[in-house]
A and B are shown apart, each in its own frame.
Chain A
Amino acid sequence: DAGITQSPRYKITETGRQVTLMCHQTWSHSYMFWYRQDLGHGLRLIYYSAAADITDKGEVPDGYVVSRSKTENFPLTLESATRSQTSVYFCASRYGPATSGNTIYFGEGSWLTVV
Chain B
Amino acid sequence: TQLLEQSPQFLSIQEGENLTVYCNSSSVFSSLQWYRQEPGEGPVLLVTVVTGGEVKKLKRLTFQFGDARKDSSLHITAAQPGDTGLYLCAGAVETSGSRLTFGEGTQLTVNP
Q: Which segment, of A14-22, A41-49, A66-74, A79-87, faces chain B?
A: A41-49
A44, A99, A106 pick with most chain B CB within 10 angstroms: A99
Query: Size range of the interface on B?
Result: 20 to 34
Alpha-carbon separation in the docked complex, A42 to B101 (Å): 10
The interface residues of chain B lying within 8 Å CB-to-CB of A90 are 42-43
Docked-complex contact B99 and A98, CB < 8 angstroms: yes
Q: Which of B81-97 contact A (CB under 8 A)?
A: 88, 90, 92-94, 96-97
Query: Size range of the interface on A?
Result: 20 to 34
- Min C-beta distance of A1 to chain B, whole Å: 15
The interface residues of chain A lying within 8 Å CB-to-CB of B94 are 99
The interface residues of chain B lying within 8 Å CB-to-CB of A48 are 98-99
Docked-complex contact B42 and A41, CB < 8 angstroms: no
Q: Are A101 and B98 also in contact (CB < 8 A) when A106-B43, A108-B40, A109-B40 are?
A: no
B27 interface contact, C-beta 8 A: no
- Min C-beta distance of A95 to chain B, whole Å: 12
Q: Which of B68-112 contact A (CB under 8 A)?
A: 88, 90, 92-94, 96-100, 102-105
Docked-complex contact A106 and B100, CB < 8 angstroms: no
Binding site for A on B (CB under 8 A): 1, 30-31, 33, 40-45, 48, 50, 88, 90, 92-94, 96-100, 102-105
**Nearest 7 CB-CB pairs, A to B?**
A106-B42, A98-B92, A42-B104, A97-B97, A43-B102, A101-B48, A99-B30
Given A99-B93, A104-B45: 4 more A-B contacts, CB < 8 Å: A98-B92, A98-B97, A99-B31, A103-B45
